[in-house]
Structure 1
Amino acid sequence: MSHPIPSSSIQDDDRPMKRAVLRGLLCRCPNCGKGKLLQGYLTVRDSCSACGEDFTAQRADDGPAYLTILLVGHLMAPLMLAAFVAYRPSAMTLMLVFGIGCVALTLALLPRFKGLIVAIQWSRRMHGFGHGEADVA
């Protein structure tokens, strides 16, 4: 015989990870999705201009750089090998094409991964996000 779970033990997630991650990847406020998360290229705003959410607790540090290097390396290395095997370009052509590709992909991904890391921290109430709120237990 199964017993119903008391409603007091069910925890509603008021900061869903999926929604926060999608908003972070778009460099938008993880709370409202309307305000911009970044000021400039990689500087996180102190607060959201739309909802006022405080972002001073974020600690992204080197996480976005590590994720960017990991993804760019894993995408470009096999592509470089495939291009070399299929077309046998000169070394200078290969370095030029894939050098530009790596730089462009890195510049495109780095702010998005910064938004992702900040959004995850916000969603999980890490590093002071949610400080002063009643603990959800």
Structure 2
Amino acid sequence: MTANKSGDYPVTDTPVPVDDRPMKPAVLRGLHCRCPNCGEGALFSRYLKVADRCPACQQELFHHRADDGPAYLTILVVGHILAFAIHFMWVTWRPDPLIMATVLTIGTVTLSLFLLPRLKGMVVAIQWSRRMHGFGKAD
């Protein structure tokens, strides 16, 4: 280690490693339920079942450990949207409670079913990008 010209802080002589797995493109691919490596192949073989390998680039995907993370994120996002929707509906229209509960229930279930695979794809893509849980092997 050496000091810079003014001597304020040390400067290392080691180069900064190049990130061969940038997080932003991987997360965007995961949100689209696509392979975080190539973006071409489908990430899921069924609704929430991550494929063992990408059909396009053969990247191994079975290493993921998404567990309860996507469900927690889905509840977090849907809960915040639902809280705003309850307030907005009540202040604006003052609907009958049964109608309001029915509309919000349908909206909540629909939004949850829509977001859950996308958020799971995002979590798998983050794990792939950061080389977590077995994704660190050489490709």
- The TM-score with structure 1 as length reference comes to 0.91
Deviation by residue 1:30-50 (Cα, 9 ceiling, x = unmatched): 000000001110000000010
Partner of 1:56: 62
Deviation by residue 1:10-56 (Cα, 9 ceiling, x = unmatched): 11000000010000000000000000001110000000010000011
Stretches of structure 2 that go unaligned for 5 or more consecutive residues are: none
Question: 1:5 and 1:61 mapped to 2: Cα distance?
Answer: 39
Partner of 2:22: 16
Instruction: Give the one of 97, 103, 106 matched to 1:97.
Output: 103
Give the aligned length.
132
Query: Structure 1 residue 77 and structure 2 residue 109: aligned?
Result: no
Structure 1 residue 130: Cα displacement = 2.1
Partner of 1:46: 52
- The TM-score with structure 2 as length reference comes to 0.89
Partner of 1:110: 116
Question: 2:75 and 2:66 mapped to 1: Cα distance?
Answer: 15
- Which residue identity lines up with residue 86 of structure 2 in the other structure? M
Identity percentage over the alignment? Answer: 55
Structure 1 residue 82: Cα displacement = 1.4
Deviation by residue 1:55-112 (Cα, 9 ceiling, x = unmatched): 1110000110000000000011111111112111011000011100001100100000
- Which residue identity lines up with residue 62 of structure 2 in the other structure? T
Question: 1:32 and 1:83 mapped to 2: Cα distance?
Answer: 43
Stretches of structure 1 that go unaligned for 5 or more consecutive residues are: none
Which structure has the larger Rg over C-alpha atoms?
Answer: 2
